[in-house]
Structure 1
Amino acid sequence: MTSPDRRTALGVVAVGGVMFAVLAALLVPWNPVPGGDLRPLDAGSVFTVEQIARAEDYSRWARTLSYGSLLVSLVVVLWLAFSGRGRRWFSWLPGPWWVQVILAVVLVEVLRRVVTLPFAVLLRREQLDVGLSTQAWSGFAVDLVKGELVSIVATSLGLLALMACARRWRRAWPAIAGAVLGLLVLAGSFVYPLLIEPLFNDFQELPDGPLRTEIMQLADEEGVQVGDVLVADASRRTTTLNAYVSGFGGTRRVVVYDNLVDDLPRDQALSVVAHELAHARRNDVVVGTVLGVAGTLVGVGLLSLALGGLRRRGHPGLADPAVVPLVLALLAIGTLVSAPVQNTISRQVETRADVDAVRTTGDADAFIGMQTQLMLRSLADPKPWALTQLWFGSHPVGLMRMALAERIAGDG
Structure 2
Amino acid sequence: MTDPARRTSLVVTLVGGVAFVALAAWLVPWHPVPGGMPAPVPASSVFTPSQIDRAEDFSRWARVWSWGSLAVSLGVAAWFGFTRRGAGLARRMPGPWWVRTVLLVAALAVIGRVVTLPFAVALRVHVRDYGLSHQSWAGFAYDLVVGQLVLVVTTSLGLLLVMACARRWRRRWPAVAGGLLAVLVLAGSYVYPVLVEPLFNHFTPLPDGTLRTQILRLADEEHVHVDDVLVADASRRTTTLNAYVSGFGDTRRVVVYDNLVDDLPEDEALSVVAHEIGHARHNDVLTGSALGAAGAVFGVGLLGLLVGTQRRGRRGGVGDPATVPLLLALVALGTLLSSPVENGISRQIETRADVAALEATHDPDAFVAMQEQLSLRALADPTPPAWSQFWFGSHPTTLQRIAIAEAK
TM class, shorter-length: over 0.9
Which amino acid is the alignment partner of residue 171 of structure 2? R
Structure 2 counterpart SS, 1:229: strand
CA contact (8 A) 1:174 1:301 kept: yes
Contact 2:309–2:318 under 8 Å retained in 1: no
Q: Does 1:33 align with 2:33?
A: yes
* 8 Å contact kept, 2:166–2:310: no
Q: CA RMSD in A?
A: 1.6
Which residue matches 1:85? 85
Residue 175 of structure 1: aligned partner = 175
Equivalences for 1:256-275 in 2 at 5 Å?
256-275=256-275
Aligned residues: 406
Q: Which residue of 2 aligns with 1:398?
A: 398
Distance 2:240 2:72 in 1: 28
Amino acid at match of 2:239: T
Q: Retained in 1: the 8 A contact 2:167–2:310?
A: no
Q: How many angstroms does 1:309 deviate by?
A: 10
Residues 1:131 and 2:131 aligned together? yes
CA contact (8 A) 1:133 1:238 kept: yes
1:306 is aligned to: 306
Give the 3-state SS of the residue equivalent to 1:245 in structure 2: strand
CA distance in 2, matches of 1:226, 1:200: 22
Is the alpha carbon distance of 1:13 and 1:239 closer, same or farther for their aligned partners in structure 2, counting shifts above 3 Å? same
* 8 A Cα contact 2:13 2:299, kept in partner: yes
Q: In structure 1, give the amino acid aligned to 2:132.
A: L
AA of the residue aligned to 2:38: L
AA matched with 2:255: V
Amino acid at match of 1:136: S
* Structure 2 counterpart of 1:42: 42
Partner Cα separation in structure 1 for residue 229 and residue 332 of structure 2 = 37
* Contact kept in structure 2, 1:351 and 1:396, CA below 8 Å: yes
Please say if residues 4 and 304 of structure 1, whose CA atoms lie closer than 8 Å, have aligned partners that are also in contact: no
2:67 corresponds in structure 1 to 67
Answer whether contact 2:205 2:231 (CA < 8 A) is retained.
yes
Secondary structure of the 2:40 match is coil
User: Alpha-carbon deviation of 1:251?
Assistant: 2.9
Aligned-residue offset at 1:6: 1.3
TM-score by length of 2: 0.97
The yes-or-no answer on 1:248 pairing with 2:248 is yes
What is the letter of the counterpart of residue 31 of structure 1?
H
SS of 2:196 mapped into structure 1: helix
Q: 1: distance between equivalents of 2:226 and 2:174?
A: 39
Identity level (%): 65
Q: Which residue of 1 aligns with 2:369?
A: 369
Query: What is the deviation of 1:4?
Result: 6.0
Q: 2:76: which partner in 1? A: 76
Name the CA distance, whole Å, in 2 between partners of 1:17 and 1:355: 30
Q: Unaligned 5+ residue runs, structure 2?
A: none
Q: Read off the aligned partner of 1:39 and give its amino acid letter.
A: A
The DSSP-based 3-state class of the residue aligned with 2:256 is strand
The secondary structure found in structure 2 opposite 1:318 is coil
4+ residue runs of structure 1 moved beyond 3 angstroms? Answer: 1-4, 308-311
Please say if 1:351 is aligned against 2:351: yes
Contact kept? 1:2, 1:166, Cα under 8 Å: no
CA gap 1:384/1:247 in 2 versus in 1, 3 angstroms: same
- Aligned twin of 2:18: 18
> Structure 1 unaligned runs (5+)?
none
Q: Deviations over 1:68-93 (max 9, x none)?
A: 00010001011111222342111121
Amino acid at match of 2:54: R
1 CA distance for matches of 2:342 and 2:30?
13
With structure 1 as the length reference, what TM-score do the two structures score? 0.96
Alpha-carbon separation, structure 2, partners of 1:335 and 1:109 = 16
CA distance in 2, matches of 1:333, 1:224: 38
Q: Distance in 2 between matches of 1:225 and 1:120?
A: 39
Query: Any idea what the Cα deviations from partners look like across 1:378-409, whole Å, max 9, x if unmatched?
Result: 0000000111001000000110000001112x
The within-5 A match list for 1:71-150 is 71-150=71-150
- C-alpha deviation, 1:310, in angstroms: 12
Distance (Å, rounded) in 2 between the aligned partners of 1:327 and 1:302: 11
Q: Aligned partners of 1:28, 1:257: CA distance in 2, in Å?
A: 27
Contact 1:219 1:277 in 2 (8 A): yes
1:231 counterpart SS class: strand
Residue 207 of structure 1 and its aligned partner are, at CA, apart by 1.3
Query: Do the aligned partners of 1:2 and 1:319 also contact (CA within 8 Å) in 2?
Result: no
Give the match's secondary structure for 1:316.
Answer: coil
What residue is the counterpart of 2:205 in the other structure? Answer: 205
The alignment partner of 1:5 has SS state of helix
Task: Give the aligned residue type for 2:78.
Answer: L
